[in-house]
Structure 1
């Protein structure tokens, strides 16, 4: 929950992704990864997935 609050305050906090994940960002939460998108025009953050790191990139 802490990371979600921090992202809502500063959406650029997460690492921008590349290649097939381009346009998405991610932050690590323990052994999990939270993926999200930023809509700067409308000031909206959309949380997409919360997966264990071992499964997140497959």
Structure 2
């Protein structure tokens, strides 16, 4: 169980939690997060391309 640490506060909480989850999952959570970031980048690129095309049609 992850207990609240008096030494981890503020902006350090998220990196601490991600490191702990990575440790507990044997690195699988890191692989999943990387895959999610890559997928989101592809979706963002598709949206940007469609928006750019729409803007060209308007102008």
**What TM-score does the superposition give when structure 2 sets the normalisation length?**
0.24
Q: Larger strand proportion, structure 1 or 2?
A: 1
Larger Rg: 2
**What TM-score does the superposition give when structure 1 sets the normalisation length?**
0.25
Higher relative contact order (CA 8 A, sep 6+): 1
Q: Larger helix proportion, structure 1 or 2?
A: 2
